[in-house]
Amino acid sequence: MSFDLVVRGGTLPDGRVADIGIRGTKIAALGDLAGAEAGETVEAAGDLVSPPFVDPHFHMDATLSYGLPRLNASGTLLEGIALWGELKAVMTHEEVRDRALVYCDWAASMGLLAIRSHVDTCDDRLLGVEALLDVREKVKDYIDLQLVAFPQDGVFRDPTAWGNTLRALDRGVDVVGGIPHFERTMAEGARSVTALCELAAGRGLMVDMHCDETDDPMSRHVETLAHEVNRLGLHGRAAGSHLTSMHSMDNYYVSKLLPLMAEAGLAAIPNPLINIVLQGRHDSFPKRRGLTRVKEMRAQGITVGWGQDCVRDPWYSLGTADMLDVAFMGLHVAQMTHPDEMRACFDMVTTENAKILNLEGYGLEPGCTASLVVLDAGDPVEALRLRPDRLAVIARGKVISRQARNDPRLTIDGRPGRIRRRHAAGGNLG
Ligand code: FE2
């Protein structure tokens, strides 16, 4: 047997230890491949080998713009939206493209190889759309970039948003987005959900709406979204992002809502870094967390994936493109600390998110696309605890990023020691 590339002795997320044989862009064999010839070898030596990280919710048109044209003084969602409007008026295609490409290097170095990014369609020039279409093409050999047509200022509230959203979809944007809680009234919000779901169904596209990103327990657009997804047969092809109002909803109402979401096959995408920062800003004490009901959804069989949302932009000043940071925050805020729950949190930034994006060929089995990441950790829970270095990242059969293992010369009080340093931002694509 011979392979182009063999990853030797990795520990898979389910605990199996196996070699992975790669031919071309596909995984050709999984098991004991001792004696097989390999054009190139990656020694995993017991380290965790995972399919790549997947981010189901991001804003690549805004990323790495922190401080432009000014800081978000109040730290709120609404000032962030206003600030983004100021930046949109002055940004250029090249700036958006270049910031996004830097971010894609960060992502690739972290083993984050599939990203669903919303792109603002409330712009008559469609500048962000054109820039991210450009980026999608440039990174296609190592990152699956799925774009969502996102009318940030409201598809009905903004006078040209509907037409611009249609134009963005005509240009090749993949998914239909929306923001019902930002429309002028609850009724307009509900009407926008119906119109956008019908648009998606008519074009055979997926749906992913920013939905009820508020502390208002009466923001119930998720109910309309579940109903329309069910009515239009969009099962397994629709997601509600954020759903933070569910944190504050009446428990009896939620006991009816969760089965409706499950019946519709509607996925949920909480974004814990952002939700914990932006929600509860109008509260005194006790102050609500604002994260949606993750454990309760999972118990109903609803697919839930952790999203990142923002990195260094008008809404969030930090971020590293590390989906383990996202899962780490999520498991704390959702109190998912049992080992089974922590393993689920790892799945929620890998396999569950791949399901939400409907990625083809995702996984480590023979026949899957040969994209994977080797982490300096022994298992998924240790990976969450350490958020460790990514020793190797392979995209479509090619090693695109490598990092040396921790410096063995380190000593602590005269003993050999190990540090768990973090990856330097910026990537090292070869
Ligand atoms: Fe978002």
C-alpha of residue 116 to centroid of ligand 1, in Å: 10
313 CA → ligand 1 middle, Å: 11
Burial class of residue 223 (count of CB atoms within 10 Å of its CB; 0-12, 13-18, 19+) = middle
As residues whose CB is below 5 A from the ion ligand 1, the structure lists 309
The reported pLDDT for the residue numbered 329 is 98
Q: How far is the CA of 152 from the centre of ligand 1 (A)?
A: 9
355 or 78, which is more confident? 355
Domains in the chain (CATH in brackets) are 2-51+363-429 (2.30.40.10), 53-357 (3.20.20.140)
Structure tokens at 80: 């962030």
Q: How far apart are the first and last CA of the chain?
A: 28
CA 309 – ligand 1 centroid, Å: 5
Exactly one of 183, 213, 228, 352 is catalytic; name it.
213
Report percent pLDDT > 90 for the chain.
92
**d(C-alpha 221, C-alpha 178), whole Å:** 11
409 — pLDDT class (breaks 50, 70, 90): low
Q: Are 285 and 256 in contact (CB under 8 A)?
A: no
Distance 251 CA to ligand 1 centre (A): 26
For the stretch 122-180, pLDDT in tens is 999 999 999 999 999 999 999 999 999 999 999 999 999 999 999 999 999 999 999 99
Tens digits of per-residue pLDDT, 353-365? 999 999 999 999 9
Known catalytic membership, residue 213: yes
What is the predicted pLDDT for the residue at 245? 98
Report the pLDDT value the prediction gives residue 42, as an integer from 0 to 100.
97
